[in-house]
Amino acid sequence: MDKTLLLVDVDCGVDDAQALMVAFAAPHVEILGITCCHGNTTLENVCRNVLRVLKTCNRLEIPVYGGASKPLLANTLHASFYHGVDGLGDAADSTAPDIGLLQKEHAVLAMIRIVNEYSGKVSVVATGPLTNLALAVNMDPTFPQKIKSLFIMGGNMESRGNTTVCGEFNFACDPEAAYIVLNGFDCPTHIATWEFTCKNELPWEFYHEWISQKTEKAEFMRKISAHAERFIKSCAKDKGEEWTRGFVSCDSYAMAAAIDDTFVTDSMNCAVGVELSGTLTRGMMVLDTLGMLQRKHKVFVMTKCDTEKLKFLLIKALQ
């Protein structure tokens, strides 16, 4: 089997860590680089978190690059309420790798270089704000044409927000970047939206079995996930049982789609846009199901997936 070549762009919180570990466990996947972006926490924390995940999985040979530390124009947002101040549940490890292990090359320059070296062969998986990708296409307008496929976790399809009234976190972090990417990238694009992940949640019984595996990786996952689990339970108490319907590893859905082309079982194919000006809707992804935007490029918005395959990938990730 030919190797699946990936370039992964993250704002490494708990679910980014889960997505990375899913990719590491897939024998046919080769990660050419991990680029870091602001988002769930500060850029420095994101970089440290990626190195912590790599050390846990014995994959420190994978190069890690620091990128955008703030949005293009928007105010900076972080998600410490869910991921903890450090981005990995405030479960700090005193033996975490030294930040000096980061590559000196900037993430955006590394993206452009890697895609040029493997033109047409690399899929990009973006699980955070799209600032690095927006900067890449602004620096090199041919960048999207050299990508095999783009997989995004972000945006929404039913105007349901998780950060603002109508905004999903990754897009709300940098609406201008999301706008640039969805308007400027013409490669095959697959989007795992917030609502899609929620509608394909996994049972909590599976989650507890998953993190109870007797391995170092499972122990790592138990520690970094505890803060998020407490947050979800507190939300359920305040906001209702809908908040505890199931376990959702948002970023793992985009990663699963990138490494297994049978994972997504149904999707919508349409043009999309991002609202930048609305008082209540800034950062919201808009689906042009009627073709009124008259855009040639259409994306695949995931709607259904094989959750049993996701379970399998997650189990393998912690073995």
For residue 102, give the 3-state DSSP assignment: coil
Kindly tell me the burial class for residue 96, based on how many C-beta atoms sit within 10 Å of its own C-beta (0-12, 13-18, 19 or more).
middle
- What residues does 304 pair with on adjacent strands? 266
Q: How far apart are CA 70 and CA 236, in angstroms?
A: 31
Residue of 213, 210, 230 whose CA lies nearest to 83? 230
Identify the active-site residue in 9, 11, 251, 260: 11
Angle between helices 43-56 and 216-239 (to 10 degrees): 130
The yes-or-no answer on residue 260 being catalytic is no
Cα separation, 209 vs 300, in Å, equals: 32
Distances (CA, A) of 115 to 8, 34, 229, 255, 274: 12, 13, 37, 18, 26
Neighbours of 223 (CB within 10 A): 16
**Residues annotated as part of the active site:** 11
